[in-house]
């Protein structure tokens, strides 16, 4: 791995910088003083040295709120960083106690507020980010990246419209000049019945735009369908060289390598694709192109990808775990105040389990965000009953669609058949 792909995880630490005498329930917060700013900067740099080898963490910056600050990092090995963070929390010897959230973000999207789950105030929306590398769902030429090897998700709407859609696109191409033709070549190619015609169209475009990553990526896809695997490999590798953070270029390269009988190369490409877009793991599990990889242990691990890592406030000394899953992204302050703290006190009073911690995952283009609370117990049925009693009597009810999963943990795919509605 090189460049941004080496650091596919985003780590956000959320801490208060106010002195204890100002940090009360009625505190309205304030901006940091120069001395506090310097201390937080030193704390952030010191934390980076404690989270694994010297090249495991990059410092991105600091996002200031009134009374609180969000420290942003990129992480190469999340397991090492997570182990170090848990050890630091357990030691309880920090100048700035903190909560944290770590999640895969291979596209390097703009950090979101750990408090609210929203984009950091004052930052550009993701579609307005100024960076030489395109980080959105669409390339800078307007082409949609999310085609897959079999059908081309980026063209599905056009395919469903059949011949009329193709004729309309071709008519628009005849009336279009300059760079605007790129997106039309890209959309027309997968709709053509004759693959040789699609190949010729893309190659004609690449004569004028030889460094266009999107056209190269689509040409690689067409070559896979033609089973011109050597030519497809050249096109996809050049596309990746131009646009490193294209998950579909890496994914299609993995399909090609698997079809070509190079399973080790296929796994390298597939793992790179998942670093950028973890949800592609679910596509890979059902993709016929990976049939030759099914028995490999490293491929089978992809069937249960860990999508988020969150802070845990207590060690689990119990025999079983339960997971409460609430729809929607909820910041840790809100999650703790409304649910974790009162539920923890309720369970402690009845000796019916322990709240271990919580996690919040943000919405992506393919999945709605969710808020989870993990609970340890030695008596699953008694804990379920206690949780149901708590929510039945609590002033703040859980969001509609909240479910309780016995035996589940954060980062493990849950069995819907075991869900208990709350």
Q: What integer pLDDT is reported at residue 343 of this predicted model?
A: 92
Among 259, 260, 258, which residue's Cα sits nearest to residue 296? Answer: 258
Q: What integer pLDDT is reported at residue 18 of this predicted model?
A: 76
Mean per-residue pLDDT, 76-101: 82
pLDDT single digits (tens) 336-348: 788 888 998 899 8
Q: Is the pTM of this model over 0.95?
A: no
Predicted confidence band of residue 37 (pLDDT cuts 50, 70, 90): confident
3-state SS class at 10: strand
Q: What integer pLDDT is reported at residue 303 of this predicted model?
A: 53
CA dist 388 to 23, 330, 383, 391, Å?
34, 21, 9, 5
Domain spanning 3-128: CATH superfamily = BMC (bacterial microcompartment) domain (3.30.70.1710)
- CATH fold of 312-421 reads Alpha-Beta Plaits (3.30.70)
Q: Does 153-301 match 3-128 at the fold level?
A: no
- For residues 189 and 45, what is the distance between their CA atoms, to the nearest angstrom? 50
Please report which helix (H) or strand (E) contains residue 299, including its range. helix 297-301
Between 141 and 230, the higher pLDDT residue: 230
Domain edges within the chain:
3-128, 153-301, 312-421
3-state SS class at 254: helix
> For the structural domain made of 153-301, what CATH number should be given?
1.25.40.10
Residue 159 reports pLDDT greater than 50? no
CB 345 within 8 A of CB 386: no
pLDDT single digits (tens) 381-397: 999 999 999 998 888 88
Q: What integer pLDDT is reported at residue 116 of this predicted model?
A: 44
Token pair, residue 378, equals 């030695």
Residue 331 reports pLDDT greater than 90? no
| % of the chain surpassing 70 pLDDT | 74
Q: What integer pLDDT is reported at residue 197 of this predicted model?
A: 93
Vertex 283 angle, CA 282 and 288, to 5°: 125
Q: What integer pLDDT is reported at residue 124 of this predicted model?
A: 28
Predicted confidence band of residue 203 (pLDDT cuts 50, 70, 90): very high
């Amino acid at each position: 791995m090189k460049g941004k792909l080496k650091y596919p995880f985003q780590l956000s630490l959320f801490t208060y910088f106010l002195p204890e005498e100002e940090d009360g329930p009625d505190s309205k917060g304030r901006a940091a003083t120069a001395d506090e700013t310097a201390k937080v900067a030193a704390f952030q740099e010191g934390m980076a040295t404690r989270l694994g080898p010297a090249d495991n963490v990059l410092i991105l910056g600091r996002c200031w709120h009134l009374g609180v600050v969000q420290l942003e990092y990129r992480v190469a090995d999340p397991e090492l960083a997570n182990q170090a963070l848990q050890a630091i929390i357990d030691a309880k010897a920090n100048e700035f106690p903190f909560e944290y959230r770590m999640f895969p973000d291979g596209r390097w999207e703009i950090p979101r507020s750990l408090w609210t789950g929203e984009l950091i105030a004052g930052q550009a929306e993701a579609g307005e980010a100024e960076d030489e590398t395109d980080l959105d769902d669409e390339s800078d030429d307007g082409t949609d990246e999310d085609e897959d090897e079999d059908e081309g998700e980026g063209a599905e709407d056009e395919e469903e419209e059949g011949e009329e859609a193709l004729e309309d696109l071709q008519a628009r191409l005849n009336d279009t000049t300059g760079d605007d033709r790129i997106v039309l070549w890209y959309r027309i190619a997968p709709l053509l019945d004759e693959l040789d015609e699609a190949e010729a169209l893309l190659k004609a475009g690449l004569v004028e735009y030889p460094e266009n990553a999107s056209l190269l990526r689509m040409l690689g896809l067409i070559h896979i369908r033609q089973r011109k695997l050597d030519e497809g490999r050249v096109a996809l590798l050049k596309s990746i060289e131009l646009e490193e953070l294209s998950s579909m270029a890496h994914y299609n390269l993995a399909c090609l390598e698997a079809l070509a009988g190079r399973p080790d190369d296929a796994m390298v490409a597939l793992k790179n694709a998942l670093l950028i877009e973890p949800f592609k793991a679910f596509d890979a599990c059902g993709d016929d192109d990976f049939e030759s990889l099914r028995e490999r242990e490293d491929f089978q691990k992809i069937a249960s990808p860990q999508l988020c890592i969150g802070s845990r406030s207590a060690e689990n000394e119990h025999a079983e775990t339960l997971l409460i899953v609430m729809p929607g992204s909820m910041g840790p302050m809100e999650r703790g105040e409304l649910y974790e703290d009162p539920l923890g006190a309720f369970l402690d009073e009845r000796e019916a389990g322990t709240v271990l911690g919580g996690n919040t995952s943000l919405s992506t283009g393919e999945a709605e965000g969710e808020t989870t609370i993990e609970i340890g117990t030695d008596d699953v049925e008694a804990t379920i009953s206690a949780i149901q009693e708590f929510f039945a009597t609590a002033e703040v009810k859980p969001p509609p669609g909240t479910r309780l999963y016995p035996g589940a943990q954060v980062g493990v795919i849950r069995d819907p058949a075991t869900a208990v509605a709350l």
